[in-house]
């Protein structure tokens, strides 16, 4: 069964590995995630497991949300997410998923929402070089010509132009777990992950693991 956990990004730091090399890592608070619902093919038409994250005050949830969690015997949580499983998921409502489901050196995928950058031009948004910086060129940070001649007479869809940047769902694949601190529910992952500090993320076993070349 695929292992999924919910968590939040705490920030970045650096640690030394076993070979005394300095490794940049992202610190992630992952879980504990209670199982709030089990879906089966007989009752829902497909198999899935719903899990929660982040303890929440009961009065901040709707009556429907409180009833849903009470039915599973789970304390109020602010985040809910489900993921598909096989028939033999082996989980029950109320079970707690923790970082101990992963191991150091394992490859994982991180899914999060990237930082919002607002409305940006093509130089920042796409890395365009722009024009000369000297006086009088009249062409500095613009994108250049966007249109065309008489036919078809409009800007082609997908053209790289100024617009909203960031604040989109992104997945970073094959990140290596450098260290796990189970007593603090922390995972140290090599490299960076999408989002800002305290951003909500999903952690799963890597789906496209790279194999070493012979």
How many folded domains does the chain comprise? Answer: 3
What is this structure's pTM? 0.82
125, 106: one domain? no
> How many CB atoms within 10 Å of residue 16?
10
Q: What is the pLDDT of residue 132?
A: 92
**Shared-domain flag, residues 84 and 130:** no
Pair 143, 207 in one domain: no
Q: Which residue positions in the chain have pLDDT lower than 50?
A: none
Could you tell me the strand order of the sheet in which 77-84 lies? 77-84, 48-55, 33-39, 96-97
Domain match, 50 and 150 both: no
- Tell me, yes or no, whether 192 and 178 share the same domain: yes
Long-range contacts of 60-65 (CB under 8 A, 24+ apart): none
- How crowded is residue 48: how many other Cβ atoms within 10 Å of its Cβ? 16
Q: What is the pLDDT of residue 152?
A: 81
Is 181 found in the same domain as 112?
Answer: yes
What is the residue range of 56's domain?
A: 32-97
pLDDT on residue 50: 92
Say if residue 158 is in the same domain as residue 60. Answer: no
Question: Is residue 72 domain-shared with residue 154, that is, in the same domain?
Answer: no
Are 37 and 86 in the same domain?
Answer: yes
């Amino acid at each position: 069964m695929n292992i999924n956990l919910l968590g939040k990004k705490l920030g970045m730091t650096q640690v030394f590995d076993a070979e005394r090399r300095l490794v940049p890592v992202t610190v992630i608070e992952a879980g504990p995630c209670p199982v709030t619902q089990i879906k089966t093919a007989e009752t829902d038409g497909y198999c899935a497991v719903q899990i929660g994250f982040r303890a929440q005050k009961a009065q901040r949830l709707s009556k429907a949300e409180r009833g849903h969690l009470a039915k599973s015997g789970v304390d109020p949580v602010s985040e809910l997410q489900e993921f598909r499983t096989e028939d033999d998921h082996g989980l029950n409502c109320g079970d707690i998923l923790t970082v101990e489901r992963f191991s150091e050196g394992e490859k994982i995928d991180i899914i999060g929402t990237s930082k919002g950058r607002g409305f940006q031009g093509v130089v920042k948004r796409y890395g365009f070089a722009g024009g000369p910086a000297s006086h009088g060129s009249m062409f500095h940070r613009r994108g250049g010509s966007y249109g065309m001649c008489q036919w078809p007479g409009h800007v082609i869809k997908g053209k790289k132009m100024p617009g909203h940047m960031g604040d989109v769902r992104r997945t970073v694949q094959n990140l290596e777990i450098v260290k796990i601190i189970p007593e603090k529910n922390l995972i140290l992952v090599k490299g960076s992950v999408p989002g800002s500090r305290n951003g909500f993320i999903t952690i799963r076993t890597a789906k496209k693991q790279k194999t070493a070349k012979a």
